[in-house]
A and B are shown apart, each in its own frame.
Chain A
């Protein structure tokens, strides 16, 4: 630690709300005890609970190691893109303006936040691997040594993810996109090429490769540590403008999220467009075409966000379609995850729709009322999301080689959910302020429960999206006509709800 930073830390530690050494020791003690007394038993219990006949075949499948590798590479690509919005080495705006802009080396100043981010990633990765290992162990599908090796490899993978995340923060737009593309291409290659060799060998079941699992686990861990060390040395290369922008964005998102406005918090992570200004967004033809073209072209002006949305929608549709082939809790989990992910992906496609709602209450600039603008802005996202949903569901069916009926359902389920979600986006965009009645205290012996309706109100759009996915998945058991009918009814309900909200906002 440099002498300057030691002085800064001393001053910082003397502030009124600083934690004392005793506070820190108590926190460490609390964390260790919680992990040992609650964490480990809970993990083992969860492993036993998941060791079911409808879950184990998925974990023991021949392609499981390959899927793990594909997911890790896809996550790394996403981490690179995330680094442009919120990197792992970040201080508060105040500390960025004082410390990161001072004469002290940035690698010294940013070491701690970087280490914290790495710890979170490595821990999350290790916990997931331990859960998978515990499930296989309790079913006798693997041994303790292989499960431990897998956890070691997962820690290495977590560190590599952290390095990819930092790369996204360090690189400028062009190289960052190239790196993300390379990682996504690698994920695609691993997905389509036969064989499960290489690092995939660390998966605790499956054929042994020429190099043993332990060797690959050590390679991953060593690679992760090396990447982190190189990354720590490169912290000096982080640009002050990037640090300041990200710090301000993160702080405003935190403030808005803690004040309860989750939609506005998400909005702070929509960076303004910087590219594609020469693309012709406005063309001739009827109004529907005018609005659809404007929406479609402006998607391309935030290419990273658009690519993430497209990939997210494809994956979500594949997960939703795949739920048809699953049973029990895995099916429920896939529907929940798929619907939530498809909802998330649709968010990047509806900026025009949001703008239509925002024109409400201001002197009119456009020739159409806010409601008509919103309807016209819904066309392009509806078409694209439906196409992606059909494609994702179709590819899943093709990959899985399922029968005709399952194929149709795998295609129909995400396709039927897409228009419901876009109509849900219309409804969400027209959301007014939270009714004060929801914040009325609800005293119970367990404390004030008023936070629950407030949370439900904040997350209502996501909850409705998941509910719609669940309803359509349930209707899928009855036949294709039921899915189509359910989709039409749900889309109509969401649209009417959106119109009601628009009327309420206008009055």
Chain B
């Protein structure tokens, strides 16, 4: 494994040490003798974008799952907002949004209602939640999908809706597993703009990606993972 330079300029080490929202120190995952993730060390401050790169099986998704509290590391320490990731911890859940695999959609709610419902469960009023949902659809140019049910979406549309669902909830840390999947060039641009806006608002973003474009246009720095030989 090697650590590489940033895609959009360097970082101030003092800032990272003082204000890192995500800290990973020598983290590894071994399950029944299978190495899922070799040692990884990195930190991300609010407003920064970290790209995880590497071949298939290098451990990108595993590291995201560790950060999301869905998987216990077998080595090293992880801190998200200074806390050990544990999805049972309400404060941790409130701070972290993640898109790792398809989100659990409700079969009987439309796309806009999903966004509205998510907003309402986080305390937004019905009208505010609706406005925010519509704004998100607008931002990703999928307003026409607002009244569709999840089973009525194509694979690319499902990816955009999944991103919208993840962005519909508040988050100080955002984890995304290959957000560029199944998207055309134009939609990739929209996603890059949407994510850049979240980072500019102070969200720490960690994303696994195979896209040179996302690396170039979005990532502040990059952690290249190499799987076990």
Closest chain A residue to B98 by CB distance? A363
Q: Is the CB of A273 within 8 A of B108?
A: yes
Q: Is the CB of A363 within 8 A of B96?
A: yes
Per-position 1/0 for A467-502, Cβ under 8 A of B: 000000000000000000000000000000000000
Q: Is the CB of A290 within 8 A of B120?
A: yes
Q: How far is the CB of B155 from chain A (nearest CB, A)?
A: 17
Closest chain A residue to B147 by CB distance? A277
A443 CB contacts on chain B under 8 angstroms: none
Per-position 1/0 for A328-368, Cβ under 8 A of B: 00000000000000000000000110010011011111111
A257 CB contacts on chain B under 8 angstroms: none
Given contacts A298-B106, A363-B98, A364-B87, contact A282 B117 (CB under 8 A): yes
> When the two chains form the complex, which single residue of A272, A283, A301, A364 contacts B126, counting CB atoms closer than 8 Å?
A283
Tell me the bound Cα distance from A352 to B129 in angstroms: 20
- By size class, the interface of chain B is 35 or more
Tell me the bound Cα distance from A151 to B86 in angstroms: 66
Per-position 1/0 for B113-125, Cβ under 8 A of A: 1001110111101
Q: How far is the CB of A270 from chain B (nearest CB, A)?
A: 8
Within 8 Å of chain A (Cβ to Cβ): is B103? yes
B97 CB contacts on chain A under 8 angstroms: 363-365
Q: Is the CB of A298 within 8 A of B109?
A: yes
8 Å CB contacts to B: which residues of A265-290? 270, 272-274, 277-278, 281-285, 287, 290
Q: Is the CB of A273 within 8 A of B149?
A: yes
B93 CB contacts on chain A under 8 angstroms: 364, 369
Q: Is the CB of A272 within 8 A of B107?
A: yes
Q: Is the CB of A282 within 8 A of B129?
A: yes
Q: How far is the CB of A365 from chain B (nearest CB, A)?
A: 5
Residues of chain A at interface, number, CB under 8 A: 32
Given contacts A283-B126, A363-B97, contact A301 B104 (CB under 8 A): no
B96 CB contacts on chain A under 8 angstroms: 363-364
B30 CB contacts on chain A under 8 angstroms: none
Within 8 Å of chain B (Cβ to Cβ): is A15? no
Within 8 Å of chain A (Cβ to Cβ): is B70? yes
Per-position 1/0 for A422-440, Cβ under 8 A of B: 0000000000000000000
A362 CB contacts on chain B under 8 angstroms: 101, 103-104
Closest chain B residue to A361 by CB distance? B70
Q: How far is the CB of B100 from chain A (nearest CB, A)?
A: 6
Tell me the bound Cα distance from A272 to B101 in angstroms: 21
> When the two chains form the complex, which single residue of A283, A290, A352 contacts B121, counting CB atoms closer than 8 Å?
A290
Tell me the bound Cα distance from A369 to B90 in angstroms: 8
Tell me the bound Cα distance from A302 to B107 in angstroms: 11
Q: Is the CB of B123 within 8 A of A355?
A: no
Per-position 1/0 for A37-80, Cβ under 8 A of B: 00000000000000000000000000000000000000000000
Given contacts A281-B109, A282-B113, A294-B117, contact A506 B88 (CB under 8 A): yes
8 Å CB contacts to B: which residues of A281-319? 281-285, 287, 290, 294, 298, 301-302
Tell me the bound Cα distance from A359 to B102 in angstroms: 11
Q: How far is the CB of A175 from chain B (nearest CB, A)?
A: 23
A358 CB contacts on chain B under 8 angstroms: 104
Given contacts A282-B126, A283-B126, A365-B118, contact A355 B106 (CB under 8 A): yes
Q: Is the CB of A273 within 8 A of B107?
A: yes
Q: How far is the CB of B218 from chain A (nearest CB, A)?
A: 20
Q: Is the CB of B70 within 8 A of A363?
A: yes
Q: How far is the CB of B18 from chain A (nearest CB, A)?
A: 27
Q: How far is the CB of A470 from chain B (nearest CB, A)?
A: 33
Within 8 Å of chain A (Cβ to Cβ): is B151? yes
Given contacts A273-B149, A283-B126, A351-B108, contact A366 B70 (CB under 8 A): no
Q: Is the CB of A351 within 8 A of B106?
A: yes
Within 8 Å of chain A (Cβ to Cβ): is B166? yes
Within 8 Å of chain A (Cβ to Cβ): is B45? no
Within 8 Å of chain A (Cβ to Cβ): is B77? no
Per-position 1/0 for A367-403, Cβ under 8 A of B: 1110000000000000000000000000000000000
A359 CB contacts on chain B under 8 angstroms: 104
Q: Is the CB of B107 within 8 A of A366?
A: no
A285 CB contacts on chain B under 8 angstroms: 126
8 Å CB contacts to A: which residues of B112-150? 113, 116-118, 120-123, 125-127, 129-130, 147-149
Closest chain A residue to B165 by CB distance? A365
Within 8 Å of chain A (Cβ to Cβ): is B215? no
Most buried by A among B103, B121, B148: B121
Within 8 Å of chain A (Cβ to Cβ): is B21? no
Per-position 1/0 for B167-178, Cβ under 8 A of A: 011000001000
Closest chain B residue to A373 by CB distance? B121
Given contacts A351-B106, A352-B106, A355-B106, contact A368 B149 (CB under 8 A): no
Within 8 Å of chain A (Cβ to Cβ): is B68? yes
Tell me the bound Cα distance from A363 to B87 in angstroms: 8
Q: Is the CB of A368 within 8 A of B121?
A: yes
B122 CB contacts on chain A under 8 angstroms: 366-367
Q: Is the CB of B99 within 8 A of A363?
A: yes
Most buried by B among A359, A366, A369, A506: A366
Q: How far is the CB of A303 from chain B (nearest CB, A)?
A: 12
A364 CB contacts on chain B under 8 angstroms: 87, 93, 96-97, 169
8 Å CB contacts to B: which residues of A232-282? 270, 272-274, 277-278, 281-282
Q: Is the CB of A278 within 8 A of B147?
A: yes
Tell me the bound Cα distance from A366 to B94 in angstroms: 9
Q: Is the CB of A365 within 8 A of B104?
A: yes
Within 8 Å of chain A (Cβ to Cβ): is B110? yes
Q: Is the CB of A363 within 8 A of B175?
A: yes
Closest chain B residue to A290 by CB distance? B120
Tell me the bound Cα distance from A294 to B119 in angstroms: 13
Tell me the bound Cα distance from A283 to B116 in angstroms: 9
Tell me the bound Cα distance from A355 to B175 in angstroms: 22
A274 CB contacts on chain B under 8 angstroms: 149
On A, residues with C-beta under 8 Å from B are 270, 272-274, 277-278, 281-285, 287, 290, 294, 298, 301-302, 351-352, 355, 358-359, 361-369, 506
In the complex, 15 of the A-B residue pairs with CB atoms within 8 angstroms, ordered by the A residue number, are A272-B149, A285-B126, A294-B109, A298-B106, A298-B108, A302-B108, A351-B108, A355-B106, A358-B104, A363-B97, A363-B99, A363-B103, A365-B103, A366-B118, A369-B90
On B, residues with C-beta under 8 Å from A are 68, 70, 87-88, 90, 93-94, 96-101, 103-104, 106-110, 113, 116-118, 120-123, 125-127, 129-130, 147-149, 151, 165-166, 168-169, 175
